[in-house]
Amino acid sequence: MSTQAKQQQPSALSGFTPYVETKGEEYMSESMRKHFSNILKKWKQDLMQEVDRTVDHMKDEAANFPDPADRASQEEEFALELRARDRERKLIKKIDKTLQLIEDEEYGWCESCGVEIGIRRLEARPTADLCVDCKTLAEIKEKQVGK
């Protein structure tokens, strides 16, 4: 991931106020779902704006440099940008899937074991679909299989 993309990803989720639960509030109440829906929609909007900026940048900066080294540098820059945008495209799909889960009132529970994922984890990673324990186990299995 490019340095620019790395710097922008955390800020995509900044600027929101952490959810404050009320006493006796049910997990994934309507207000919680609305909170996460707003976070995800803002994140998606930011990603879509970045796609537009990339298209404009590539149109504006596209040049046929006579020097092969300059041409190669520009092609490498564009390739890195396109790889970052491809990752973001996949993230947008995951955001859309998550928004659908919220709409279906199935958001916030682990896909593996069914327990609550937790508000703070979801604020840190709104597209999370596994609880911390299941995600940890999945990462351990992945490392073991990868060896």
Q: Set out the domains of the chain in order of their start, with CATH numbers.
A: 1-6+27-107 (1.20.120.910), 110-147 (no CATH)
Give the pLDDT confidence score for residue 61 in this predicted structure: 75
Q: Which residues of 15-40 are buried (b: 16+ CB within 10 A; e: fewer)?
A: eeeebeeeeeeeebeeebbebbbebb
Q: State yes or no: 75 annotated in a binding site.
A: no
Name the pLDDT band for 32 (thresholds 50, 70, 90). Answer: very high
Give the pLDDT confidence score for residue 7 in this predicted structure: 40
Closest CA relative to residue 9, chosen from 50, 37, 41: 50
Q: State yes or no: 134 annotated in a binding site.
A: yes
Average confidence score pLDDT of the chain? 87
Name the pLDDT band for 14 (thresholds 50, 70, 90). Answer: low
Q: State yes or no: 83 annotated in a binding site.
A: no
Task: Identify whether the C-beta of residue 80 lies closer than 8 Å to the C-beta of residue 50.
Answer: no
Residues 102, 104, 108: CA angle, nearest 5 degrees: 45
Q: What is the mean pLDDT of residues 15-39?
A: 92
Name the pLDDT band for 103 (thresholds 50, 70, 90). Answer: very high
Q: State yes or no: 25 annotated in a binding site.
A: no
